[in-house]
Amino acid sequence: MRSFASRIVTLVAVPTALVGACKSTPTSNTDAGSPVPSFVKPRASSPPLASNIPVPAASVDKAVNPDKLPPYSGPTGAVEGVVKIQGDPNPEVKLELTSACAGARSTYDHLFREGPGRTLADAMVAVTEYKGFLPAKEPSVKVKVNACAYDRLTYVVTYGQRLDVLSEDPTNSYVPFLTGFDSTARLVLTPKTEGGVKLYPLDIGRYVLVDEMKRPWMKADVFVLKYPTHAVTGLDGRFRIEGIPVGDVRVSAFLPVIDATEGKKVKVEDGKTATVDFTLTYKRPTAAPSASAPAGKAPAAK
């Protein structure tokens, strides 16, 4: 069985190269990626302060567009589909919630979220191996918070984008924070915080979005990639990614919490939508053998 590192390498590969294994702290690889438009680039004169660490525009440019190519302007198509889960039942998670956070149960009371017919939520879907550079379309990815829960358990941004954490909760306050680097800055998100809290990932890689108001269940994976051709599924398992350069590409689906991934080759045609569905498999981990197990019954070394 492949390791987590080998699986995530395939998924976070940029169109022409691999980013490398994502870790709990962000990586600092320098492969090719998508160019980031000027309105996304942090300026040295006004660095992002929510993370307490500035991200100079030159660093973003060097990481996402080392060859300084113009954005792709040729013919494009789209891919869409549904991600489902099969295998063992989704295990329940024991939660100790206060009355003010009772609404979080539906988000966190199982290992992963699934909808009717075992459609899979929070799966990251990415398109790679196309030719050309694509800019991010927006300066940020929105994160919504309500009833002590994030609206997703997986978020994906293009390097240079930020996370805008917005409150839809009329009562509770939050302290959203990205783990993965040292910082002393903390911003409080209240029901009246105008514009929300802005978080700026420092580098390419994997982070964890947490809440530092003693709500340990409030976690979400955050992946920072070098290209914008990605999406995250909702409870219906659906995804759609547009603006993909025509040609043969690879479409991959990945659910971080169970380290399950699947990839398929797809041909993208001008003005058309290619349909590709995925079914990931969950297998409940087996218990480790007891130290007092009879001789000859222990599993063979791998």
How much of the chain, in percent, has pLDDT values that exceed 90?
61
pLDDT, tens digit, 9 for 90 and up, residues 249-277? 999 999 999 999 999 999 999 999 999 99
**Residue 184 placed within a domain:** yes
Q: How confident is the model at residue 213 (pLDDT cuts 50, 70, 90)?
A: very high
pLDDT at 76 over 60: yes
pLDDT at 79 over 90: yes
- Rounded average pLDDT over 115-132: 96
pLDDT of residue 289: 55
pLDDT at 297 over 90: no
Local structure of 167: helix, strand or coil: strand
Q: How many domains does the chain have?
A: 1
- What are all long-range contacts of 294-297, with beta carbons under 8 Å and residues at least 24 apart? none
**Residue 302 placed within a domain:** no
Contacts of 152 (CB under 8 A, 6+ apart): 121, 122, 143, 220, 232
**Residue 148 placed within a domain:** yes
CA distances to 37, 62, 161, 247 from 57, rounded to whole Å, are 10, 9, 11, 31
pLDDT of residue 181: 60
**Residue 288 placed within a domain:** no
**Residue 299 placed within a domain:** no
**Residue 53 placed within a domain:** yes
pLDDT of residue 47: 35
- The one-letter code for the residue type at 293 is A
Q: How confident is the model at residue 55 (pLDDT cuts 50, 70, 90)?
A: low
**Residue 139 placed within a domain:** yes
Tell whether the torsion through CA atoms of 252, 23, 93 and 141 is positive or negative: negative
**Residue 58 placed within a domain:** yes
Instruction: Please give the residue range of the domain that contains residue 139.
Output: 4-282
Distance CA(245)–CA(72), nearest Å, equals: 8
**pTM of the entire predicted model:** 0.79
Computed over every residue of the chain, the mean pLDDT equals: 80
